[in-house]
A and B are shown apart, each in its own frame.
Chain A
Amino acid sequence: MSPRLRLLLQALPALALGYVVVRMLVGDVGGGTTLLDYLSIGVTQGAIYAFVALGYTMVYGIIRLINFAHGEFFMAGAFAGYFVLRDAGIERWALPQPWPVLLAYLAALLAAALVAGTLALVAEAACYRPIRKAGRVAALLTAVGLSLLLQNLARQWPAIGPTQRPWPAPRMWAAADEVPSPADAHYYELKTFTSPTGERVEREKPVVFKGATMTPAVRQRLAAEGGRNVFRKGELSRTVVDRSIVLMLAAAAVGLWFLVQRTRTGKAMRAVSEDMAAARLMGVNVDRVIAATFFLGAFLAGLGGVAYCAKYGQVDPLTGFMPGLKAFIAAVLGGIGSIPGAVVGGLFLGVSENLFAAEVSTEWKDVLAFVLLVVVLLLKPTGLMGRPYREKV
């Protein structure tokens, strides 16, 4: 590549940044949203990418494997969180009741992280460890196979199934008289009935749709059934979700930094990543260090899974695919193998995707990630924060 072209390509990010700043000062993009809104969405999305990218980058840094099944660890974590929240009965609680919701979410996050981490441990012991010596291509294909296996197991497994499920959200109860007319949201009632198999099942039935008025007949029926209350589905407020995700990422990043830089395990991880054979000769238990890396990466992916699904309000067996791919790109953008790089790459990708969606087009948003990837690889093949690649002859 000629030096002039290179200079031009390197000047592009600066130009883009200048443009964005100017646009932000000038005002809104349309529809009442400003570019600043897109920026904040971008930061949240980027934080989720970063959660997942950390796992990719740690595993790559230590055994040079692109762990395609990482997105499925994310999905498994999301489902674990889903079951905890659902079975904790978060849907039966009325807001405002912040503490129980917070506790339920903490439990869900913990469960998600542990389930994803355990799954990664099993996968590492069963698949990745035996294949490690057989070469990179075989290991990569094993990872792909594992990804397919987990996806399809989840689709076939009766408790999960292929359909998309709404993410459990707290309900905001109101007496029938309190529903404004026209209604400000969809309102539902909870009906219990006995299923053909003899189970008692709770179903939510819509009472009045958003913008419609509750008819007197419905009001009378509800009053006749003992003044039954109706509810609207409480979304956790967007800003609360967004801010907790970003805070969680900050906490995780600090924790991870501490773990890698200041503990014995972290030291061992850095040693194995530097030179596996030498680390083994120095008495480092390489297998255990690699297992710990997988566990830690998947632990973070599990947290990311709950965050992602809470933000987008649904979960299904293919949940992990697109975020996994994007997070992988983020990891490469930041410099695969570099922990700060994963955070920077994730945020960079999330922000630039959303700014692109705001300014250019939403349909071509997905292309942007891949084009960015190619451009960064060509300009700086080891990523934004990666160490320069040295060749030993």
Chain B
Amino acid sequence: MWTLAAEFQFSWLWVAEVLVGVALYAMLAASLNLVTGFGGMFSLGHHGFFAVGAYAAGWMASLAASVEPGSAAGWAVFAASAVFAVAASAAAGLLVGLPCLRLRGDYLAIATLAFGEIVRIVIQNTPALGGSLELNVPRLVMRPRGLAEVESFRELFLVVGVAALAVVLVVIRNIVRSAHGRAVVSVREDEIASELLGVPTTRYKVRAFVLGAAFAGLAGWYYAHYTGSIAPANFDMLVGIKILLIVVLGGLGSLTGTVLAAAVLVGLERLLQSGVFGEDLKRWMQVEYALILILVMLLRPHGLLGRFELGDLFRRRARGGRAA
């Protein structure tokens, strides 16, 4: 979006943008954690649902291009596009989940990867969605002009992002602790055993998958309205891999770990980008990023926290044990 001159780096303006990125990726990773961490379904195509949500929201907003930003109608369309984005990605999740969840392990991963790519190519070949160019998403709640307004725009979206993230986290936590969630986790632990115990495994897998897709759609809505223009290149396989990386780094099945990992990873990326470590390191940024990825995997293959939540570190029963 806006390129920042060097003097703005590390200003509140810059920090707000980084935090928005953290909220976005935390949301995406939390939704994938529901699928992969709790449900044990290995998905490489989560960016596909992210794209569906973003394009659904963007398309709806582009229908309301004449609405005055910040008016009641603008806010109404803003909220309605969230509902639409979530519904669209949930529908996509159902469409993909029903046939694909019969597959297991790597085959499921491959099928979801194929889905992610199909979404991207379909968008690229659909002129109504901007094709391979950008789809302009009209501003609905505020049209920032000038630096001060950009700052308050980002503050506004920071609040929206944190609220959305909180909703996602609370819903996932409550579901995981409910009977539904226990059933999902039992499928992860041993699908055959839980089927023998009477758990309708496919139904629970599809439900978790659809819910994960819906939350990714919410993240897509947030992203589309924040950047104001989306392109298929924003939703390539690297995004899906980055989301999965955050989930693994944060620990499969650890929500606080996910948020922590999103903060670490996005923060690190932005710091490298900012050139604070010198021009040479900035030029080699992509190489360093990949190196860090490999090193983290080699040193902490089970993530920063494993299956523990941040709070567990201060509780007695968690001491001495490490997640398997």
Contacts and interface: CB of A to CB of B under 8 A. Distances in A.
Interface in B272-290: 283-284, 286-287, 289-290
If over half of B's interface residues share one DSSP class (helix, strand or loop), that class is named, otherwise mixed; here it is: helix
Interface string A184-228: 000000000000000000000000000000000000000000000
Contact of B100 (A145, A151, A374): A374
A370 B297 contact: no
Given A141-B248, A332-B110, A370 B117 contact: yes
Interface stretch (A26-34, A101-109, A131-139): A131-139
B301 interface: yes
Contacts of A381: 102-103, 107
Contacts of A138: 248, 297, 301-302
Interface residues of B, number: 39
B11 to A, nearest CB: 29
Given A367-B122, A378-B99, A381-B103, A148 B298 contact: no
Contacts of A146: 290, 294
B101 to A, nearest CB: 11
B297 A142 contact: yes
A363 B122 CA distance: 10
Given A148-B290, A149-B291, A131 B125 contact: no
A148 B237 CA distance: 12
Interface string B290-305: 1101100110011000
B106 A64 contact: yes
B83 interface: no
Residue with the highest number of chain A CB atoms closer than 10 Å, among B99, B105, B106: B106
23 contacts: A60-B106, A66-B110, A127-B294, A127-B298, A141-B293, A142-B297, A144-B293, A146-B294, A148-B290, A152-B290, A156-B284, A156-B287, A363-B125, A364-B121, A364-B125, A367-B118, A367-B121, A367-B122, A370-B121, A371-B114, A371-B118, A374-B100, A381-B107
Given A66-B110, A329-B114, A370-B117, 11 more contacts: A131-B298, A136-B106, A137-B42, A137-B248, A138-B297, A138-B301, A141-B245, A142-B293, A370-B118, A378-B100, A381-B102
A391 interface: yes
Contacts of B100: 374, 377-378
Q: Which 7 A-B pairs have the closest CB atoms?
A: A134-B301, A145-B293, A149-B290, A138-B301, A152-B286, A148-B290, A370-B114
Contacts of B302: 134-135, 138
A134 B114 CA distance: 26
Interface string B169-183: 000000000000000
Interface residues of A, number: 42
Interface string A365-383: 0110011011001100100
Contacts of B260: none
Given A156-B284, A367-B118, A371-B118, A377 B297 contact: no
B118 A145 contact: no
A391 B196 CA distance: 15
A153 B122 CA distance: 32
Contacts of B286: 148, 151-152, 155-156
B50 interface: no
Interface in B106-135: 106-107, 109-111, 114-115, 117-118, 121-122, 125
Contacts of A370: 114-115, 117-118, 121
Given A141-B248, A152-B286, A152-B290, A131 B121 contact: no
Best-buried of B99, B283, B287 by chain A (most CB within 10 Å): B287
B297 A141 contact: yes
A393 interface: yes
Contacts of B102: 378, 381
A13 interface: no
A152 B287 contact: yes
A222 B115 CA distance: 59
A373 B290 contact: no
Nearest to B37: A137
A130 interface: yes
Contacts of A142: 293-294, 297-298
A325 B294 CA distance: 21
Contacts of B192: 391, 393
